[in-house]
Amino acid sequence: MTDDRIIEIETRLAHHEKQIADLSEMATAQWKEIESLRRQLGEALSRIEEAEGGAPPASVKPPHY
Protein backbone atom coordinates (compact mmCIF):
# COMPACT_ATOMS: atom_id res chain seq x y z
CA MET A 1 0.00 0.00 0.00
CA THR A 2 1.20 3.45 -0.76
CA ASP A 3 1.48 6.17 1.85
CA ASP A 4 -1.25 8.19 0.09
CA ARG A 5 -3.62 5.23 0.29
CA ILE A 6 -2.91 4.71 4.00
CA ILE A 7 -3.50 8.41 4.69
CA GLU A 8 -6.79 8.28 2.79
CA ILE A 9 -7.95 5.24 4.79
CA GLU A 10 -6.95 6.84 8.08
CA THR A 11 -8.77 10.03 7.12
CA ARG A 12 -11.94 8.12 6.28
CA LEU A 13 -11.69 6.17 9.54
CA ALA A 14 -11.33 9.37 11.55
CA HIS A 15 -14.35 10.84 9.74
CA HIS A 16 -16.43 7.74 10.47
CA GLU A 17 -15.41 7.75 14.12
CA LYS A 18 -16.51 11.40 14.38
CA GLN A 19 -19.86 10.59 12.75
CA ILE A 20 -20.43 7.71 15.16
CA ALA A 21 -19.64 9.93 18.15
CA ASP A 22 -22.01 12.64 16.84
CA LEU A 23 -24.81 10.13 16.27
CA SER A 24 -24.31 8.66 19.72
CA GLU A 25 -24.52 12.13 21.24
CA MET A 26 -27.72 12.88 19.31
CA ALA A 27 -29.30 9.57 20.36
CA THR A 28 -28.48 10.30 24.00
CA ALA A 29 -29.99 13.79 23.77
CA GLN A 30 -33.13 12.43 22.09
CA TRP A 31 -33.50 9.73 24.74
CA LYS A 32 -33.31 12.35 27.50
CA GLU A 33 -35.96 14.41 25.69
CA ILE A 34 -38.22 11.36 25.32
CA GLU A 35 -37.90 10.58 29.03
CA SER A 36 -38.74 14.18 29.90
CA LEU A 37 -41.80 14.12 27.64
CA ARG A 38 -42.95 10.80 29.13
CA ARG A 39 -42.68 12.28 32.61
CA GLN A 40 -44.62 15.39 31.55
CA LEU A 41 -47.31 13.26 29.90
CA GLY A 42 -47.69 11.17 33.03
CA GLU A 43 -48.06 14.30 35.15
CA ALA A 44 -50.62 15.75 32.72
CA LEU A 45 -52.65 12.54 32.75
CA SER A 46 -52.61 12.52 36.54
CA ARG A 47 -53.88 16.10 36.63
CA ILE A 48 -56.63 15.27 34.14
CA GLU A 49 -57.74 12.30 36.24
CA GLU A 50 -57.76 14.48 39.37
CA ALA A 51 -59.74 17.20 37.56
CA GLU A 52 -62.33 14.69 36.39
CA GLY A 53 -62.82 13.69 40.01
CA GLY A 54 -64.03 10.23 39.21
CA ALA A 55 -66.56 11.46 36.66
CA PRO A 56 -67.96 8.66 34.50
CA PRO A 57 -66.63 8.30 30.98
CA ALA A 58 -68.39 10.33 28.29
CA SER A 59 -69.86 7.15 26.79
CA VAL A 60 -71.92 6.52 29.96
CA LYS A 61 -75.28 8.31 29.83
CA PRO A 62 -76.50 10.05 32.98
CA PRO A 63 -79.41 8.30 34.76
CA HIS A 64 -82.02 10.87 33.61
CA TYR A 65 -81.73 9.75 29.94
Give the span between the Cα atoms of 60 and 56, in whole angstroms. Answer: 6
pTM higher than the cut 0.85: no
Helix (H, G, I), strand (E, B) or coil at 24: helix
Half-sphere exposure of residue 57, counting CA atoms within 13 Å on the CB side?
2
pLDDT tens per residue across all 65 residues of the chain? 799 999 999 999 999 999 999 999 999 999 999 999 999 999 999 999 888 886 666 666 767 76
Distance CA 34, CA 39 (A): 9
